Chain A
Amino acid sequence: MGNLNPLGLTRRSFVAVTSVLFVVAALPQKIWAAALRPETAFQTTTLEATFEALGGVPKVSDGIVFSTPDIAENGAVVPVRIEIDTSVLSDVSKIYVIVEKNPNPLAAVFQVPPNTQPYAETRVKVAQTGNLYAVAEANGQLYMMQRETKVTLGGCGG
């Protein structure tokens, strides 16, 4: 079959590829941004795999000021704050929040253009006592800071 009509197949895939390209080129920034969501990293299930998906194990840096509670009574709502000391770590463009013991460790990514302070605050679910990591990306290099949070009541129960 394929032998009889190789041209048709090629043309079909050619049309498919060009129409995708056309759509991507024509669409506004909103959709474009959605295409940049690091889907693979979000689906990883171990800390090692998450780091690998981000591009390797980050170097520990004191330039990341990572605040989490030492003990979280309710794992479903654990406040986290990441601040970057720009005198130590400059040009941070992305901040990742990773919860080691969660089914999918990567919780959030914040991308900031140069005029935005590398700063992020949010609340995450923490399944059980373990390490939380704040990872910063600057000039293609990864840096991290870790904090242990003890959880009395898990964040994924019903």
Chain B
Amino acid sequence: MASRIRIRAQLKDDYCEVKALMRHPMETGMRKDQSGAAIPANFIEDIQVLHNDVVVVQAYWGAAVSANPFLGVRFKGGAQGDVVKVVWRDNHGDSGSGETTIR
């Protein structure tokens, strides 16, 4: 599962910048396949960024977020070596996570 997120956390002036790229189709449920059958909606609904196990960003997404979604957030109080984790859950209950240490 971890391979489904590429994540980087970098210390800037007075904040830590987190950038994450997830692998997910983010299907809206409005598209049809070649035979005309509807492709069921499948998208990340809930995503959290944790710094040393404390939630620093809680986001909720709709199907309008692009496929293989990108997330960029900034939080204060990070130090080099701290663990930053991104956890997501989609509308099928599937989930994924990835973590890194602050550089």
A113 to B49, CA, bound (A): 12
Residues of A within 8 A of B48 (CB): 33
A119–B64 CB distance below 8 A? no
Chain B contact residue count (CB 8 A cutoff): 33
B66 within 8 A of A: yes
**Does any Cβ of B come within 8 Å of A109's Cβ?**
yes
Residues of A contacting B46 with CB < 8 Å?
33-34, 37
- Give chain A nearest CB distance to B24 CB in angstroms: 12
Give the docked Cα–Cα distance between A99 and B28 (Å).
Answer: 14
Q: Nearest chain A CB to B18's CB is how many angstroms away?
A: 10
Residues of A within 8 A of B61 (CB): 107-109
Tally chain A residues at the interface, Cβ within 8 Å: 37
Interface contact A109-B15, CB-CB below 8 Å: no
C-alpha gap A104/B69 in the complex (Å): 18
Q: Which 3 A-B pairs have the closest CB atoms?
A: A121-B72, A107-B64, A123-B66
B: residues with CB less than 8 A from A are 15, 19, 28, 30-33, 45-46, 48, 55-67, 69-77, 89
List 8 A-B pairs, Cβ < 8 Å.
A38-B60, A77-B67, A99-B64, A107-B61, A108-B59, A112-B57, A115-B56, A156-B28
